[in-house]
Amino acid sequence: MSDTALPLATKLKDAVPAAPLMPLSVRDLTLRFGETTVLDGLNFDLGSAGCTMIMGPNGSGKSLLLKLLHGLMAPTSGHIDWGGQDPQAVTKRQALVFQKPVLLRRSVAANIDFVLKTRGKDRGRRDALLDHVGLAHKADQPARLLSGGEAQRLALARALATDPEVLFLDEPTASLDPASVLAIETIVRDARNRGMRICFVTHDMGQARRMADDVLFLHGGRIAEHTAARDFFCEPQSASAQNYMDGRLVV
Ligand SMILES: Nc1ncnc2c1ncn2[C@@H]1O[C@H](COP(=O)(O)OP(=O)(O)OP(=O)(O)O)[C@@H](O)[C@H]1O
């Protein structure tokens, strides 16, 4: 992206609080709807840095896992420990970007202004944020007129405006063209390289290979595999991950 990414990077780095949310420890995490168990006794840890790609077939529980980790839902049982921090205070230190961008029916600039104002952030960062995601020239345009890729970059800028320590992404590029996919990946990689912890749901194998430090593979609400990226893509250990990568796993 543009040269003006640097001042933004500096400000994001400066904003990291002293007591970090990472590492994450998840123990016996279970979610049921009535008689149906959709997440079944998950146990995993995430280290302080990097990008975890969360993969698995449709309905395996990826989106629900993100919502639990972000505190948008409560588990039926089990524990989520973000660096020993008070669970009540965790959500505000994280951001979630959905497949369908959630935007205000205001101008592009006003979408950023709103987040900066409500979070008590420096309003002067708006232009740097818009430039960082390549939308400075659209600042005065209504957000509803943006293309899908532009809207998703604005959603990402809104997320970055909150200075999250953890960024959750739920299939953010699912309906975007290759150039828009790469633009989003560039922004996310930059955030990761500046120390933001990334948890990224995708079905896009190429994207997972480009972005992953580690892969958490879900199948039927359980963790089939949690492996370093190079091991996962060279030789997945679980049959379900092998079948998924070969296009043979349909749930
Ligand atoms: N509110 C709900 N009540 C009952 N079942 C639900 C509810 N929300 C989700 N589910 C079920 O939980 C399972 C996991 O859903 P989830 O959205 O996490 O899957 P996913 O892995 O993200 O799928 P996809 O790849 O299709 O987005 C699915 O079978 C879904 O139908």
Any domain includes 54: yes
**75 CA distance to ligand 1 centroid (A)?**
14
Interacting residues of 114 by C-beta distance below 8 A, sequence separation 6+: 104, 106
Minimal-distance CA residue to ligand 1 atom 28 = 59
Domain-located, residue 133: yes
CA distances from 143 to 1, 45, 119 (A): 21, 38, 20
The pLDDT value recorded for residue 33 is: 98
Q: Using the mean position of ligand 1's atoms as its centre, give its distance from the Cα of residue 63 in Å.
A: 7
In a domain, 106, yes or no: yes
Contact 198, 50 (CB under 8 A): yes
ipTM above 0.90, yes or no: yes
Q: For residue 80, is it within any domain?
A: no
Instruction: Look at residue 9 and tell me if it is in a domain.
Output: no
1 falls within a domain? no
Query: Which long-range contacts does 16-20 make (Cβ < 8 Å, 24+ apart)?
Result: 16/163, 16/165, 16/195, 17/93, 17/165, 19/83, 19/85, 20/48, 20/83, 20/165
**φ/ψ bin of 98: left (φ > 0), alpha (ψ from -120 to 50), beta (otherwise):** beta
Q: Which of 62, 72, 199 to mutate to test the pocket of ligand 1 (most atoms within 8 A of CB)?
A: 62
Residue 107, domain member (yes or no): yes
Contacts of 177 (CB under 8 A, 6+ apart): 149
pLDDT score recorded for residue 246: 86
Q: What is the pTM (predicted TM-score) of this model? A: 0.91
Report the pLDDT value the prediction gives residue 248, as an integer from 0 to 100. 81
Of all protein residues, the one whose alpha carbon is nearest to atom 25 of ligand 1 is: 58
Residue nearest ligand 1's atom 6 by CA? 33
Is position 25 within any domain? no
Helices (H) and strands (E) in the chain, counts: 10, 9
What is the atom index within ligand 1 of the atom nearest the CA of 203? Answer: 25
Ligand 1: residue of 37, 38, 65 to mutate (most ligand atoms within 8 A of CB) is 38
CA of 65 to the centre of ligand 1 (A): 10
Q: Is the CB–ligand 1 distance for residue 173 below 6 Å?
A: no
Domain CATH number, residue 130: 3.40.50.300
40: phi then psi, degrees, rounded to nearest 5: -125, 90
Asked whether 132 lines ligand 1 (CB < 6 A), one says: no
Residue with tokens 């990097």: 50
Domain that holds residue 156: 39-75+85-246
In the predicted model, residues of the chain with pLDDT beneath 70 are 1-18, 249-251
Domain count, the chain: 1
Among candidate residues 64, 119, 83, the one with its CA nearest the CA of residue 197: 83
- Pick from 108, 230, 220: nearest CA to 157: 108
Separation of CA 220 and ligand 1 centre (Å) = 10
pLDDT at residue 249, as a whole number:
66
231 CA from centroid of ligand 1 (Å): 28
Distance from Cα 38 to the centre of ligand 1, integer Å: 7
